[in-house]
Amino acid sequence: MNKAYKYRLYPNKEQEVLFAKHFGHARHVYNWALATKKAHFEEHGKSLSRFELQKQMVVSKKTTKVWLAEVNSQTLLAALANLDVAFRNFFRKNAGYPRFKSKKDSCQSFQCPQNVFVDRAKGIITLPKIKGIKAKIHRSFEGNIKTCTISKTAAGHYYIAILVEDGKSLPETADIDPSRTIGIDVGLTNFLVLSDGRKEGNLRFLGKSLRNLRKRNRQLARCKKGSSNRTKKKLNVAKVHDQITKQRRFFHQNIANKIVNDIQVDTIAFENLNIKGMMKNKKLARHIADVSWASFVNIVQYKAAWAGKNIIFCSRFAPSSKACSCGEINSKLKLSERQWQCNACLVSHDRDILAANNIKAFALQNLDSQLATMR
C-alpha cells in the first residue's frame, strides 16, 4: 500500500538556489518535450514516445544545453514521465490537453525518484545534489521510499511529499449493509448533515478572512509593477490564502476522521454533485469554493479505502431534498426553504436531514452499478 507523507522544508540560501534550478530545469524539459511532441505530430502525423524524447534530451544535454547537468538527471527524466502521464490522461478523457508550465505558476515542483535519505533523529533530508536540508519531520514512516516531490508554494514555503510503499495491502471492504450505511448531504449553511441527524457547521474560512484579504489586495494594487515592494505585498496576499488553505485542510481531515473511524458505519453515501456547473452561479461561487466539497470527498475516499469501508454515490439528478418518505415529490420547493411539510402525509421535514436520508436510500437503490464501478 502506498502512502504519502508531507513535511515542511527549511532550506538555506544556497539550497534555495539549487531548488530554483531544479524547478526551472524540470519546467524547461517539460515545456520543450511538449513543444517537440506537438510539432512532430503536426509535421508527421504521429507522436514521439517518451524514450525518443529522452534520447534527444541526452544529446542536447551534452551539446547545446550543458547547463542541464547542474541538476539531478532523474528529475529531468521525471519531467518527461509526467508529460507522458498528462497525455495518457488526455487520451482517456480524464483531463484536458497538456499545457505549458510557467515560472509564474503559484506552485513550483520537481520530483526525485531515487537516492532520497531521511534522518528523522537529526531532522535532515538529503536529495541528489542537495545535501542536509533541514525539515520538520513530525511523524515517522516505515517502508521503501518510491519517489518524492519537492514543491514551493506562492507563500514561499517549501515542502516535500514522500511516497512510501509499506508492503501492506489494502484491507478487504466490508459487505454493504443498509443498517451500517450513512448518508451525507453537503451544504453551505451546514458544511455537512448526516442521515442520523448530526450536523457540522460551516466555518467559512475564506469569508472570515475577506476583510484582511481585501486590505492586502488594495496595498498590492497601489504598488508599481516590477517593484520590490510589489513582490513583498504579493507575498503577503499569498500568505493569507495559504493560511486559509491550511485551516480548511485541517478541518476536512478532522471531519473525515470522525466519519471514517465511526465503528457503527461500514458504508458512506454521497451525492455526485456537478460542482463545476454549480460554480457558474455568481452569487454562490465564492461560498462553494470556500467549502471545497470535492477536496473533502477525496479525503474521505482514501481514508475509507485504508479502513476497508465503502463509498457509494447517488445520482445528482435524484430529488434528494424534495422526495418525502411517503413517495411524494415537492417539485416547487425553493432553495431558501429549509423546512417544509408534505401535502400528502402532512409530515414536516428538515430539508438537510431529509436529503441525507434520501442520498443514502437512492445510493443503495443503485447498488449494482456502484459495485460495478468500484470493481
Over the stretch 94-112, which tens digit does the pLDDT of each residue have? Answer: 999 999 999 988 899 999 9
Reduced to 3 DSSP states, what percent helix, strand and coil does the chain have, rounded to the nearest 5? 45, 20, 35
Average pLDDT of the residues in 312-328: 83
- pLDDT at 175 exceeding the cut of 50: yes
Axis-axis angle for helices 228-260, 293-307 (nearest 10): 40
Residue 373, pLDDT score:
47
Residue 372, pLDDT score:
45
Q: What whole-number distance in Å separates Cα of residue 333 and Cα of residue 339? A: 10
Choose which CATH entry (3.30.420, 1.10.1240, 3.40.1360, 3.30.1370) describes domain 178-202+249-374. Answer: 3.30.420
Answer with the residue of higher pLDDT: 355 or 296: 296
- pLDDT at 370 exceeding the cut of 60: no
Over the stretch 328-365, which tens digit does the pLDDT of each residue have? Answer: 788 787 877 777 778 778 778 778 888 898 899 889 88
3-state secondary structure 131-180: EEEEEECCCCCCCEEEEEEEEECCCCCEEEEEEEECCCCCCCCCCCCHHH
Contact 362, 316 (CB under 8 A): no
Supply 66's cell numbers.
550543458
Active-site residue, from 14, 177, 352, 368: 352
Residue 332, pLDDT score:
80
Active-site residue, from 16, 43, 185, 242: 185
Of the candidate ranges 138-147, 188-197, 258-267, 332-341, the one whose mean pLDDT is the lowest = 332-341
The domains of the chain are located at 2-165, 178-202+249-374
Query: For residue 371, what pLDDT band results from cuts at 50, 70 and 90?
Result: very low
Output DSSP code: residue 350: E
Residue 10, pLDDT score:
97
Over the stretch 215-244, which tens digit does the pLDDT of each residue have? Answer: 999 999 999 998 999 999 999 999 999 999
271 is an active site residue: yes
- pLDDT at 113 exceeding the cut of 50: yes
Residue 368, pLDDT score:
56
Contact 1, 169 (CB under 8 A): yes
Q: What whole-number distance in Å separates Cα of residue 307 and Cα of residue 320? A: 28
Buried b (16+ CB within 10 A) or exposed e, 72-89: bebbbbbbbebbbebbee
**pLDDT mean across residues, the chain:** 90
Over the stretch 43-54, which tens digit does the pLDDT of each residue have? Answer: 988 889 999 999
Average pLDDT of the residues in 273-279: 90
Active-site residue, from 70, 119, 172, 271: 271
Supply 245's cell numbers.
488553505
Confidence (pTM)? 0.87
